[in-house]
């Protein structure tokens, strides 16, 4: 009988704890969204923004509707250009960014609507300049590079890296652990170090075409 009572108590305690935790998270999310709506250049509706997201220069960041930004994401958007009011990071509607992702947007980074970004992805429009061999890499300057444009409906898997000046066409995909050093056409999947074309959708044949290691389509 005593064990039965303990089971009932534990059952109701777990329900109460889950509801209390859910209420706590909801209250925190309300305050986080209120803060963000005041400090960001623009901040959309129904944004799921976890506590613990690290960001700098929010006035230079624009966030669309219904985005999901997970805990541990880092965003740095301080403009390294003359126009300090420039929006350097644009996140479109329905974008999901998972934990551990690092975004350097000191020139301009745009993430298109409906894009999914996995864990630990690096997107940076800057790089270390190692032109002076007499200095360590740390002591060489970090230089501003060309903008990064990620089109609508793209998918970037975990641990991928997007180099400065890269454009991903709409519905492009980047495989896990890939390093993207050149533009990716629309409806194309790339992977590897450096990333190469793995598949591309052929609208005339209405199917995905595989590519070999030499970058040629397999017929």
Q: Say how many domains are in the chain.
A: 1
Q: Tell me, what's the pLDDT at 169?
A: 97
Q: Is residue 73 part of a domain?
A: yes
Residue 205 lies in a domain: yes
pLDDT of residue 23: 62
Residue 107 has what pLDDT?
Answer: 93
* Bond before 194 cis per omega within 30 degrees: yes
| 97, 68 contact by CB (below 8 A) | yes
- Residue numbers of the domain that contains 53: 40-210
pLDDT of residue 4: 56
User: pTM score > 0.75 for this model?
Assistant: yes
Per-residue pLDDT of 40-87, as tens digits, reads 999 999 999 988 899 999 999 999 999 999 999 999 998 887 788 888
Whether residue 187 contacts residue 202, with contact meaning beta carbons closer than 8 Å, is answered with: no
Would you say residue 92 lies in a domain? yes
pLDDT tens, position by position, 109-156: 999 999 999 999 999 999 888 888 888 888 888 888 899 999 999 999
Res 13: pLDDT: 53
In terms of pLDDT, which residue wins out, 131 or 22? 131
Pairing, β 196-202 against β 188-191:
antiparallel
- Residue 108 inside a domain? The answer is yes
DSSP 179: E
Q: Is residue 176 part of a domain?
A: yes
In-domain check, residue 161 = yes
Residue 21: Cβ within 10 Å count: 10
| Best CA proximity match to 105, nearest among 66, 132, 139, 73 | 73
Structural domain includes residue 18: no
**Residue 189: how many other CB atoms lie within 10 Å:** 21
What's residue 168's pLDDT? 98
Query: Considering the domain boundaries, does residue 21 fall inside one?
Result: no
pLDDT recorded at residue 84: 80
Residue 123 belongs to a domain with what CATH number?
A: 2.160.10.10
Reported as type and span, the H/E element at residue 43 is strand 42-43
Nearest to 75 by CA among 45, 47, 111, 44: 111
Comparing C-alpha atoms, which of 168, 209, 213 is closest to residue 192?
A: 213
- Mean pLDDT score across all residues of the chain: 88
């Amino acid at each position: 009988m005593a064990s039965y009572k303990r089971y009932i108590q534990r059952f109701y305690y777990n329900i109460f704890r889950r509801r209390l935790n859910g209420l706590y998270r909801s209250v925190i999310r309300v305050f986080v969204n209120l803060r963000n709506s005041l400090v960001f250049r623009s901040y959309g509706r129904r944004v799921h923004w976890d506590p613990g997201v690290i960001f700098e220069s929010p006035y230079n960041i624009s966030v669309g509707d219904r985005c999901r930004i997970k805990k541990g994401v880092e965003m740095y958007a301080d403009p390294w250009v003359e126009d300090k009011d420039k929006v350097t990071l644009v996140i479109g509607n329905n974008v999901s960014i998972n934990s551990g992702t690092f975004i350097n947007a000191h020139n301009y980074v745009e993430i298109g609507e409906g894009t999914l970004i996995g864990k630990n992805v690096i997107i940076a429009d800057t790089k270390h300049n190692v032109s002076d061999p007499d200095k360590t890499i740390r002591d060489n300057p970090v230089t501003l590079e060309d903008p990064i444009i990620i089109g609508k409906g793209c998918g970037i898997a975990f641990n991928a890296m997007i180099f400065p000046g890269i454009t991903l066409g709409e519905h492009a995909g980047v495989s896990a652990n890939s390093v993207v050093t050149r533009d990716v056409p629309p409806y194309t999947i790339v992977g590897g170090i450096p990333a190469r074309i793995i598949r591309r959708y052929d609208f005339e044949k209405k199917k995905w075409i595989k590519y070999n290691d030499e970058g040629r389509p397999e017929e």
